[in-house]
Amino acid sequence: MCENEDVAHLRLNGYRNVNVRKRTLDLKIGNSALHLRVQLHMYKAVDGLNKYEYTIGICTPAMDTVTDGKDVAVVQVNVTNRSDIHIIGKLTNTKLIEGTDWLLLEYRDGDQYGHHCGTENRRATIMITCDSSVKIGEEVVRVFEEETDRNSECYYLFEMASSAVCPASKLITVSLSVGTILVIVFFSVTALYIILGFIYNRFVLHAKGKDQIPNYEFWQDFGNLQADGCDLICRTRRRQERSYKGVGDDQLTEEDERDEHLLPM
């Protein structure tokens, strides 16, 4: 179905400015509906030799001044002879193939070939590829190829890039590791400890200055406690005994002891 009709003025294929219709396209593939959000559904393009002009309709007939067919999807008009008109495909016979980031739209039941391609009916194939840089409403149709050098299965190939067929980006869920959670919990508890301790010392104990810091004396000596603990745990050499001794009574010689009677009483 098509809805949200509007008119836009765009430059298509680098050749000319044309008025095109803006719509929203819903295509049904099998049992699943595909919402393309393609806003441009009538395009004009000219081949590389500037010989033929093509009017292409997606989700709308290719209404043109040279044709009023309501079921016409793609029309070819000779640039030098506007009466030379061929219907390439119709909306009544459509085939759609969906890929991960592309769509292949095929219109069949066009006019028959004269003397080649087994006089089969013409058909148009439109390749819509994903290009996230192309905004919806700024698509450009390019005439890619006209394949007629065969006995059957001839086709007109058109190419268009659009962000409308790009797959929806997946949401990226970020999960926190155990270490990150522990760090967050640690800093949260630390901040809560400091804030509540400061409030308690300030308004309950009426402390001032540095005494407002929770357990200030403990944290003041915390560095010394760490140094002592590190020295106790990490020390590898035994403490060396002193090479000298203090002079005491046990080091007196016998001669010194015999002189005690000379001391005055």
Is 98 within the bounds of a domain? yes
pLDDT in the model for residue 124:
94
What does the DSSP assignment read for 90-121?
EEEEEEEEE-SSEEEEEEEE-PBPSSSGGGPB
Q: Domain tally for the chain?
A: 2
Domain interval for residue 214: 174-237
H-assigned helices in the chain: 178-203, 216-220, 222-234, 254-258
Asked if the structure places residue 19 within a domain, the reply is yes
Nearest to 60 by CA among 30, 103, 22, 11: 22
Distance CA 227, CA 236 (A): 15
pLDDT tens for residues 113-143?
988 888 899 999 999 999 988 887 778 889 9
Shared domain check, 182 and 142: no
Which CATH number does the domain housing residue 88 bear? 2.70.130.10
Q: Are residues 16 and 92 in the same domain?
A: yes
* Domain-located, residue 253: no
Are residues 114 and 44 part of one domain? Answer: yes
Mark whether 69 and 137 lie in a shared domain.
yes
Per-residue confidence (pLDDT) for residue 163, from 0 to 100: 85
In a domain, 74, yes or no: yes
Mean predicted confidence (pLDDT) in 88-113: 89
How does pLDDT run across 152-167, given as a tens digit for each residue?
889 999 999 988 888 8
Decide if 255 is inside a domain: no
Does one domain contain both 127 and 37? yes
Same domain, 18 and 137: yes
Distance CA(56)–CA(39), nearest Å, equals 14
One domain, residues 53 and 153: yes
Handedness of CA 137, 142, 148, 154 (dihedral sign): negative
Residue 261 maps to a domain: no
Is 115 among the domain residues? yes
Distance between CA atoms of 53 and 41, rounded to whole angstroms? 16
> 252 lies in a domain?
no
Same-domain check for residues 220 and 147: no
Rounded Cα gap, residues 139 and 13, in angstroms? 9
- Predicted confidence (pLDDT) per residue in 11-47, tens digit: 333 333 333 333 344 444 443 344 444 444 678 888 8
Count CB-CB contacts under 10 A for residue 183.
12
Considering the domain architecture, whether residues 6 and 118 belong to the same structural domain is answered as yes
Sign of CA dihedral 121, 52, 72, 93: positive
Please check whether residues 131 and 206 belong to one and the same domain. Answer: no
CA distance 30 to 26: 13
Shared domain check, 156 and 182: no
Q: Most distant CA pair in the chain: distance in Å?
A: 155
Task: Specify the pLDDT at position 237.
Answer: 61
Q: Let me know whether 111 and 186 are in one domain.
A: no
What is the average pLDDT across 49-69? 75
